[in-house]
Structure 1
């Protein structure tokens, strides 16, 4: 479905969203033993029963097509000291460096950042396309958390801290 959106409204919406702080996450999957990941801020809890969340991924992202086919994905919520990872996973030219250190990678499970603010393994149960993005819904099957609570946030086009 195509929408005829007023460019002025699009610009106003962009400015409004720049004022909404979001945690920074690395969404991970494993395809035929190859780890893949992407930086994303569009992640949200969906329900407590069952524990579930959603992530929104641009259809132009290299990870998008594979995410439609895997059974599980991981959400690595980044800690304030992991801005370098957010930048690395957002930069396609650094693909070869992404899982070099600090990651638990093996089998077909989504890679887990050992010292992430939080990590959630999700069984992908549904996805919906909307505009330029797809909404992927996952039921949470595993959770790990870091004791210190200081997530990396993205606000007004810059990385920062909640503190």
Structure 2
């Protein structure tokens, strides 16, 4: 098998937490599902998200001063489904309990964790842009049961 095919098969075995990345485009909330999210450093608290340059939200994300990473809880499967389906784009923020503030991107009130970030750096690599954000605010849910994605489907930890 070719290296690119083997790579795709290997990545299907890499379980990842399901996240919703949100921004504010003027008064309009925008969001997308993503699994390519990772912590970067604890000092300063920072994260990175990798976004395909063909994603409809790509250009808006790299121009936004702030973005939010909503780490989904197991009971937010419906939110992940809506944000993963381009045909359901208009229903995205009608699904789940969203907080809309003027000074920040929208965030899920009952997400596993919410990390509001200030965009700090962009790095282009091949077909993706790596967006690095400094964490400015964190909200945590007490019960821990993240929604995972592995082998092309949603899964549960443990």
Determine which of 98, 123, 127 is the counterpart of 2:122: 127
Q: Is the 1:24–1:78 Cα contact (8 Å) retained in structure 2?
A: yes
Partner of 2:89 in structure 1?
A: 95
1:59 is aligned to 53
Count of aligned pairs? 157
User: Do structure 1's residue 155 and structure 2's residue 150 form an aligned pair?
Assistant: yes
Deviations 1:103-158 (A, max 9, x none): 01132511110100000000001111111111000000000110000000001111
In structure 2, the residue matched to 1:70 is 64
2:6 is the alignment partner of 1:9 = no
Cα offset, 1:95, TM superposition:
1.2
CA–CA separation in structure 1 for the residues paired with 2:5 and 2:46: 32
Task: Give the secondary structure class of the aligned counterpart of 2:139.
Answer: strand
Query: Any unmatched runs of 5+ in structure 1?
Result: 1-6
1:32 aligns with 2:30: no
Alignment partner, residue 112 of structure 2 = 117
TM-score by length of 2: 0.96
- CA RMSD, Structure 1 to Structure 2 (Å): 1.1
The whole-number CA distance in structure 2 between the counterparts of 1:87 and 1:134 is: 23
Provide the TM-score with structure 1 as the length reference: 0.93
Q: Distance in 2 between matches of 1:108 and 1:37?
A: 16
Structure 2: state its 5+ residue gaps: none
Distance in 2 between residues matched to 1:21 and 1:40, nearest whole Å: 13
Of 147-156 and 86-95, more deviation after overlay is shown by 86-95
